[in-house]
Structure 1
Amino acid sequence: MSDRWDREHVLGLAPDAASAKAGTGVAKPAKWSGLGCGAGAVWGECQGSGKSAYRAAADLGEPAFRCSCPSRKFPCKHVLGLLLLWSDGAAAAGEPPAWVAGWLAERAERAGRAQARKAVTAARARDPKTAAAREEQVAAGVADLDRWLADQVAHGLAQAEKAPYRLWDDAARRLVDAKAGALAGQVRALASVPRRPGWPGLLLEEYALLRLLVRAHAAEGLSAPLRETVRARIGFTVVQEDVLASGERVRDRWCVVGSRDLAQEQLTTRRVWLRSRSGRSALVLSFAAPGRPLDVSLAVGTEIDAELAFYPGARPLRALVAERHGPAVAAVPDGTGVAALLDEFAAAVAADPWLDRWPAVLAGVRLARDGAGLWAVDAAGAAVPLRTGDPWRLLAVAGGDAVTVAGEWSGRRLRALAGWHPEEGVVIL
């Protein structure tokens, strides 16, 4: 089978460092039987500690994975080991066995049903009566939020410090009922603000941004791109088919610079950040119910030649991968210094005042620690504070050398998601 993934691509699919290590441990031909590849899939049986071997397979198109082991990680160590062996050429080409062919057929059938459901949903959304009814519901919900915001400011911010969670949750639930889901999420997130240092100023800032969004929703004469941004922030969605049909298309070499999963109620969201060689940024989102695998087709540390279709907006950022032009390869992204990052973020916020995160790639930075925490310092001496769940891992890989660091910039702090060392390669945080 052509276009085999390299080792870095496979390990980039691992849900965590422990899985990557375990996958490497089972990537030994002696542990496997029935290794094969073909029909866009790879498969094999790995002998575990029990009597029965674990059957592992991967659909390389999406990609998607299955394994008979009890692990709840996707992909599990057996699938990772299988893919590593395939990457090394240990899987012979052939026809898939019945258990693999049946799985592939089931996947194709489910995909067909999902496509049909999407078509029905899109048709309903385009129905003029349905659309008009939702517009009325949202308008009523936004007006209710406007009154709620006025009450919070009129009563003073002091009450928020000891206010119960339901102060914000009740307001968010009313917005959910009004079909303004994205706006509801923003209101619900306010409950954590009074627990932060300097919370009164932060909370007032959040209230002001919400009021600006409320006023923008009711305003006349907004430009079409800004109108789309306002609607998206409130909760109106654009169906993927429309984005692929009429969205702005950009073909470039896109480097996957970071990925982050967020669990929110009954849904897990994966944010994947991409940076093109021409300096364009993009965000690809995928969603899954708890316990279900998320999209792993974009592995951190790889680069794809692809055409992206962007959702409409004042500062288009969210996109879909419309078409790939070749396999993913390991790559190091181009980066900037701190000043260029701040300039880019300022321009983005000027176009979209509600932007709360921006992809950052800082090249040639050294890591420094002081009493305030970890910092990334560029060649000009400018620095930004870093936040990462495992600072020692990043420090160990850097080893005092200049590295490339990528992550999400909030305007105050950079949440590091990945780093590149000239000799050690990529480390996913």
Structure 2
Amino acid sequence: MTQQGVRWTADQVLALAPDAASRKAGSKLGAAGPWSGTGSSDEGAVWGLCKGSGSEPYRTVVDVADASGPAYTCSCPSRTFPCKHVLGLLLLWSGGEAVVATGRAPDWAEEWIAGRRGRTHEKREAEAGGSGTADPEAARRRARRRAERITAGVTELEQRLADLLRSGLATAEQAGYGMWEETAARMVDAQAPGLAARVRELGAIPSSGPGWPVRLLEECALLHLLDQGWLHRERLPEALAATVRTRVGLLASPGGPPLRDDWLVLAQHDTSDTKLTTRRIWLHGATSGRTALLLSYGAAGRAPEIALPVGLAVDAEVTAYPGTGQPRAALGEQFAPPAPTSIRPPGVTTAEATARYGAALRDDPWLDSVPVTLRDVLPTPDGDRWQLADAEGDTALPLTPAAASRPGLWRLVALSGGAPVRVFGECGHRGFTPLTAWPTGPGEAVRLC
């Protein structure tokens, strides 16, 4: 990512942080004071020594040219990855050549860089050489056993939904969250993580505010529809059956030929719970016009593996996962580091955005939102809520309640300054969640999440 002098911005660096505490601690180390012996190479390595509480400074090295995202090491004892020293070093490096100059890596940094790149190369060769060696019959037996377990879990879930409706939705509020968590655990045992996630979402609805019984009934109906789709999947068109399998949690491997393109990194945002951080990265193909979603996960205390700088473009291959209307893809080989680009995704009106979501629901009834770029919209207050209104026209999209409470809303308002902007985000039944915006004229992408 240092090719042609390209360095990350501070926002791109802080996107690596696994939590808010790490972002705060890393920001404090983004100044030259505690650092010595810093440097970077044209091949994408950054290194430095950071003064800590001990007599010896911490040795920190980052490889920002790794195809799956930056790799890093630090001699500090932190159990958080990346640690604050990695974040601080990258923040320092983002300041430019005058702050962290290009040069030759010291022996201790060069040894780690060479060793890691060698191991990565060997691993890829082994994976390439080992493809197709698995026993197909054994794989079919495993798939059949898992399908049987999922069917048993789905049957049990259907019975629990029937019991809930028979006894009345008010009993869900009385039973509390424990009932849902126990049901979710049963779905995990049945190897249906997609069902487990939806059950946990159901558990958060009772007592969530006015109108919760209606929302609970809607989600129960969608869950029942998914259960029935699994139980009768052999009657469905193959593409829809693949969507059902994906929604249940039976994720197939990416299929079809990889698609090489210059992929604009539209957005990157994380959602976390106590056990897992999920990172969603949206890409737009400059030539193909395709929109692709990369998902990456990190256990508690660790950032997800894949990290791409928003607003840059990367020459890479992606391979789509099966399923009707599914944008998810797997990132393949990267042929060059991310680089600045003038590419912007084409936009639509707010009315066209809602129509696009409605059409997508025909292929995937469980779809919460679709990726959409709105062109020439104005962030406008609407009572106690905000909306994005077409600069020319009389239609608008309300922001989701979560988006309206984020600091990114004020970045969007400041970027607009009363002028139309182009905004990429996710459009669904709860409204629009803005993720990235561009000014009308020349200017870089601004992250809103």
Coarse TM-score class (shorter-chain normalised): 0.7 to 0.9
Amino acid at match of 2:330: L
Aligned 8 A contact 1:305 1:324 in 2? yes
Q: CA deviation at 1:157?
A: 1.4
Q: CA deviation at 1:248?
A: 5.0
Tell me what 1:63 maps to: 70
Aligned 8 A contact 1:408 1:414 in 2? yes
Alignment of 1:158-307 (within 5 A): 158-194=170-206, 195-219=208-232, 220-239=234-253, 243=254, 246-277=255-286, 278-307=288-317
Q: CA deviation at 1:86?
A: 5.6
Aligned 8 A contact 2:354 2:427 in 1? no
Q: CA deviation at 1:165?
A: 0.3
Pick one of 68, 78, 81 that aligns with 2:89.
78
Aligned 8 A contact 2:38 2:100 in 1? no
Deviations 1:254-292 (A, max 9, x none): 222222212244222111122334542211011111112
Q: Secondary structure at the match of 1:56?
A: strand
Change (3 A) 1:298 1:140: same
Aligned 8 A contact 1:407 1:417 in 2? yes
Amino acid at match of 1:268: T
Q: CA deviation at 1:177?
A: 1.0
Change (3 A) 1:147 1:5: farther
Alignment of 1:7-406 (within 5 A): 7-8=7-8, 11-15=11-15, 22=27, 26=31, 32-37=36-41, 40-46=44-50, 52-59=56-63, 60-61=65-66, 62-68=69-75, 72=80, 74=82, 75-85=86-96, 90-92=101-103, 94=104, 97-102=107-112, 105=115, 109=119, 123=134, 127-194=139-206, 195-219=208-232, 220-239=234-253, 243=254, 246-277=255-286, 278-331=288-341, 332-379=344-391, 380-386=393-399, 387-388=403-404, 389-390=406-407, 391-406=409-424
Change (3 A) 1:5 1:22: farther
The worse-fitting range, judged by mean Cα deviation, of 168-177 and 97-106 is: 97-106
- Please give the TM-score of this superposition, normalised by the length of structure 2: 0.81
Amino acid at match of 2:93: L
Deviations 1:398-419 (A, max 9, x none): 2222222222222221122222
Change (3 A) 1:180 1:226: same
Alpha-carbon distance in structure 2 between the residues aligned to 1:255 and 1:411: 26
- Please give the TM-score of this superposition, normalised by the length of structure 1: 0.85
Instruction: Could you tell me which runs of 5 or more consecutive residues in structure 2 were left unpaired when the two chains were aligned.
Output: none
The worse-fitting range, judged by mean Cα deviation, of 401-410 and 351-360 is: 401-410
Deviations 1:205-260 (A, max 9, x none): 11111111111112132122111111111111224xxx2xx335333332222222
Q: CA deviation at 1:3?
A: 2.0
Amino acid at match of 2:3: D
Aligned 8 A contact 2:40 2:100 in 1? no
Change (3 A) 1:417 1:73: farther
Amino acid at match of 1:247: G
Q: Secondary structure at the match of 1:236?
A: coil
Aligned 8 A contact 1:5 1:87 in 2? no
Q: C-alpha root-mean-square deviation of aligned residues, in Å?
A: 3.5
The worse-fitting range, judged by mean Cα deviation, of 18-27 and 342-351 is: 18-27
Change (3 A) 1:22 1:188: closer
Alpha-carbon distance in structure 2 between the residues aligned to 1:70 and 1:26: 21
Alpha-carbon distance in structure 1 between the residues aligned to 2:328 and 2:283: 10
Alpha-carbon distance in structure 2 between the residues aligned to 1:40 and 1:212: 49
Pick one of 435, 439, 443 that aligns with 1:417.
435
Change (3 A) 1:276 1:99: closer
Aligned 8 A contact 1:44 1:55 in 2? yes
Alpha-carbon distance in structure 2 between the residues aligned to 1:79 and 1:404: 29
Find out whether 1:427 has 2:446 as its counterpart. yes
Amino acid at match of 1:406: F
Q: Secondary structure at the match of 1:322?
A: strand
Alpha-carbon distance in structure 1 between the residues aligned to 2:284 and 2:26: 28
Change (3 A) 1:172 1:24: closer
Q: CA deviation at 1:373?
A: 1.3
Instruction: Give me the identity figure in percent.
Output: 36
Deviations 1:117-169 (A, max 9, x none): 9989x958952332222121111111111111111112221222333101211
Aligned 8 A contact 2:368 2:428 in 1? yes
Change (3 A) 1:87 1:345: farther
Alpha-carbon distance in structure 1 between the residues aligned to 2:214 and 2:419: 38
Amino acid at match of 1:280: R
Aligned residues: 421
Q: CA deviation at 1:311?
A: 0.2
Amino acid at match of 2:319: A
Instruction: Could you tell me which runs of 5 or more consecutive residues in structure 1 were left unpaired when the two chains were aligned.
Output: none
Q: Secondary structure at the match of 1:393?
A: helix
Amino acid at match of 2:272: A
